């Protein structure tokens, strides 16, 4: 697309410098050209068949408002009118396919809009298409998709991150202005870091989960991927808030500041915490550590105070996360049995065999692995004790993190110990893949907001081998606006960090 930000696009639509149809057609052409590439990005699984007609409707509204002198009023009511966005393949769009990157749901058509989709539609935004993901959001590289891996637009030999890798790659490659993702343990922030864009995980409940296929219900959240903090704040301003259909949903304090997000100013009173467990983490890539050091220098140059804090409970975050997430996944995915949901494999040998054959044929190896582990944790031998212990540790993490924010305003740390890795490098090493979440899971366990900012690049020998590095700013519950204001201050001092690198078409 010719315009990098939502505001640039909206201004161009208002001024007549472009049309919604032109934006959509450009995206469609890019999608079709990419399919013919020798190394296709594979960010979108499909472009929805009604995008042109929706864009035409938006253009008609704009033309009519211009003639009536009500253009500003129109965009106040529909701030995203005519703006196309990317959608992850586990978020329901009425009348459109939804597969969660899995064979078991191939051909399934959503019966209704997820709340986040409905709210974006009412704001005038156009769902452009569904994006690739790790199957049922279980993965950190988007290599565990039944429809092939998504490549990184910065260098197509590398992974895009996961599980929201398709949405991140689409935004990074400038195929969409912003994208919706979901995360259970870092699946928005991680691909944002790998692809060099901004990724936002809200306080649990700020964005409704109604219409989003569940992985780990007590951890799942919808998130937003974009080129700038303002491009997160604009859709967030229409998405945030309580939803009748989601009992865990809630309103976001200070949400009125989102529509015109400003950068954070009061750095002299900002107290930053860096957990010693993350500062001294084994396996942190030297280039990631170097970028983190530069980020700390930026904060201190602004007058912020940085403190190293000891939080031993964080060493249990990965274990607690996977016990809880996999247990809840085993429960949530039990409905995909060929009877209630899922493509049925019926060999007329009875319901038990139908159930076994359907799930064996429909699920990929990583999903099977997590279901087996989850069911084992919940099995009779343990009587749920392991899950309960995981929840006890989680409660301790929540308590310790809440106590931390009584003294400190923000936690900063890398998003991932390493930059993006090459395709196939870790796909057969589940433990190495799981450790990609080392710095992200505590945010989900504590239900706090966090935003990943593009903070720099690795020291590659040439431009193609330099990969992005993301740093995250995590705040206390419902401090979402301040985290985005901090990210906006970062963006204003580092504007090139968020500019997408265009890959091969």
In the DSSP assignment, the letter for residue 91 is B
Total residue length of the chain: 505
For strand 305-309 and strand 271-275, is the pairing parallel, antiparallel, or unpaired?
parallel
Give the 3-state secondary structure of residue 457: strand
Find out whether 59 and 66 touch, Cβ atoms under 8 Å: no
- What pLDDT is stored for residue 502 in this prediction? 45
- Separation of alpha carbons 124 and 146, rounded Å: 32
Q: What is the pLDDT of residue 504?
A: 45
**What contacts 433, CB < 8 A, 6 or more positions away?**
139, 140, 141, 426, 427
CB 89 within 8 A of CB 182: no
Enumerate the β-bridge partners of residue 341: 336
Spatial contact of 437 and 458, defined as CB atoms under 8 Å apart: no
Place of tokens 């960010």: 43
Write out the H or E segment, with its range, that includes residue 330: helix 317-332
* Residue 14: C-alpha distances to residues 65, 176, 260 (Å): 10, 19, 18
Residues 280, 314: contact at Cβ < 8 Å?
no
Strand 221-226 vs strand 198-201: parallel, antiparallel, or unpaired?
antiparallel
CA angle 301, 304, 307 (to 5 degrees): 115
Res 496: pLDDT? 63
Tokens of 3: 């315009």
The sheet carrying 84-88 orders its strands as 44-47, 126-131, 84-88, 178-183, 221-226, 198-201, 450-457, 468-474, 410-414, 271-275, 305-309
Closest CA to 306 of 276, 264, 280: 276
Residue 30: CA atoms inside 13 Å, Cβ hemisphere, count?
A: 23
DSSP string, 159-173: B--SSSHHHHHHHHT
> What's the pTM?
0.96
Give the active site residues: 88, 163, 187
CB-based contact 323:373 (threshold 8 Å): no
| Torsion of the alpha carbons at 338, 342, 347 and 348, rounded to the nearest 10 | 30
pLDDT at 281: 84
Output the pLDDT for position 360: 95
Strands (E) across 163-231 are located at 178-183, 198-201, 221-226
State the CB neighbour count (10 A cutoff) for residue 72.
10
pLDDT tens by residue, the chain, 505 residues: 666 799 999 999 999 999 999 999 999 999 999 999 999 999 999 999 999 999 999 999 999 999 999 999 999 999 999 999 999 999 999 999 999 999 999 999 999 999 999 999 999 999 999 999 999 999 999 999 999 999 999 999 999 999 999 999 999 999 999 999 999 999 999 999 999 999 999 999 999 999 999 999 999 999 999 999 999 999 999 999 999 999 999 999 999 999 999 999 999 999 999 999 998 888 899 999 999 999 999 999 999 999 999 999 999 999 999 999 999 999 999 999 999 999 999 877 888 899 999 999 999 999 999 999 999 999 877 766 888 899 999 999 999 999 999 999 999 999 999 999 999 999 988 888 988 999 999 999 999 999 999 999 998 766 567 999 999 999 999 999 999 999 999 999 998 665 555 444 3
Separation CA 433–CA 424 (nearest Å): 11
Query: Helix or strand or coil: residue 193?
Result: helix
DSSP 10-73: HHHHHHTS--HHHHHHHHHHHHHHHHTSSS----EEEE-TTHHHHHHHHHHHHHHHHHHT-HHH
Q: How far apart are CA 273 and CA 255, in angstroms?
A: 25
Q: Name which of 486, 423, 484, 414 is nearest 443 in CA terms.
A: 414
- Residue 311: closest CA among 240, 238, 404, 381: 404
Q: Which two tokens stand for residue 351?
A: 């319901």
Beta bridge partners of 221: 183
Please, what is the Cα angle at 65 between 59 and 68, to 5 degrees? 145
Tell me, what's the pLDDT at 462? 64
CA distances from 361 to 45, 120, 143, 374 (A): 21, 36, 18, 19
């Amino acid at each position: 697309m010719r315009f990098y930000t939502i505001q640039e696009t909206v201004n161009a639509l208002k001024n007549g410098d472009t049309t919604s149809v032109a934006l959509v057609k450009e995206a469609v052409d890019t999608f079709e050209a990419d399919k013919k590439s020798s190394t296709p990005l594979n960010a979108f699984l499909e472009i929805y068949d009604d995008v042109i007609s929706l864009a035409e409707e938006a253009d008609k509204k704009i033309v009519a408002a211009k003639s009536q002198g009500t253009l500003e009023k129109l965009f106040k009511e529909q701030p995203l009118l005519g703006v196309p966005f990317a959608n992850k393949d586990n978020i329901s769009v009425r009348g459109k396919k939804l597969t969660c990157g899995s064979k078991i749901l191939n051909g399934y058509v959503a019966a209704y809009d997820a709340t986040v989709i409905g709210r974006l539609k009412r704001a005038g935004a156009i769902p452009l298409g569904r994006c690739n993901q790790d199957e049922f959001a279980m993965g950190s590289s988007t290599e565990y998709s039944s429809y092939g891996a998504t490549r990184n637009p910065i260098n197509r030999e590398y992974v895009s991150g996961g599980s929201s890798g398709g949405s991140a790659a689409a935004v990074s490659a400038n195929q969409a202005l912003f994208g919706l993702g979901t995360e259970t343990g870092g699946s928005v922030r991680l691909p944002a870091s790998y692809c060099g864009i901004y990724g936002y995980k809200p306080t649990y409940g700020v964005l409704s989960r109604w219409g989003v296929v569940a992985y780990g219900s007590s951890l799942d959240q919808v998130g937003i991927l974009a080129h700038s903090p303002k491009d997160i704040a604009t859709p967030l301003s229409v998405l945030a808030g309580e939803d009748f259909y989601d009992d865990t949903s809630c309103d976001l304090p200070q949400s009125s500041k989102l529509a015109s997000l400003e950068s954070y100013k009061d750095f002299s009173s900002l107290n930053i915490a860096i957990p010693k467990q993350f500062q001294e983490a084994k396996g942190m890539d030297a280039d990631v550590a170097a970028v983190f050091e530069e980020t700390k220098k930026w904060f201190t140059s602004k007058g912020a105070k940085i403190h190293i804090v000891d939080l031993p409970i964080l060493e249990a975050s990965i274990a607690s996360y996977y016990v809880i997430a996999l247990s809840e996944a085993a429960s949530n995915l039990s409905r995909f049995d060929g009877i209630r949901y899922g493509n049925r494999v019926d060999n007329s040998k009875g319901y038990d065999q139908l159930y076994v054959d359907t799930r064996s044929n429909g699920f990929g190896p990583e999903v099977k692995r997590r279901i087996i582990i989850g069911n084992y944790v919940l099995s009779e031998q343990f009587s749920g004790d392991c899950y309960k212990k995981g929840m006890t540790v989680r409660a301790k993490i929540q308590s310790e993190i809440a106590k931390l924010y009584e003294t400190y305003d923000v936690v900063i740390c890398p998003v991932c110990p390493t930059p993006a890795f090459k395709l196939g490098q870790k796909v057969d090493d589940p433990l190495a893949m799981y450790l990609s979440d080392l710095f992200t899971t505590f945010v989900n366990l504590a239900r706090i907001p966090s935003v990943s900012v593009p903070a720099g690049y690795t020291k590659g020998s040439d431009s193609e081998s330099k990969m992005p590095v993301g740093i995250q700013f995590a705040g206390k519950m419902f401090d979402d606006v301040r985290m985005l204001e901090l990210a906006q201050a970062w963006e204003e001092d580092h504007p090139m960090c968020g500019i997408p690198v265009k890959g091969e078409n």
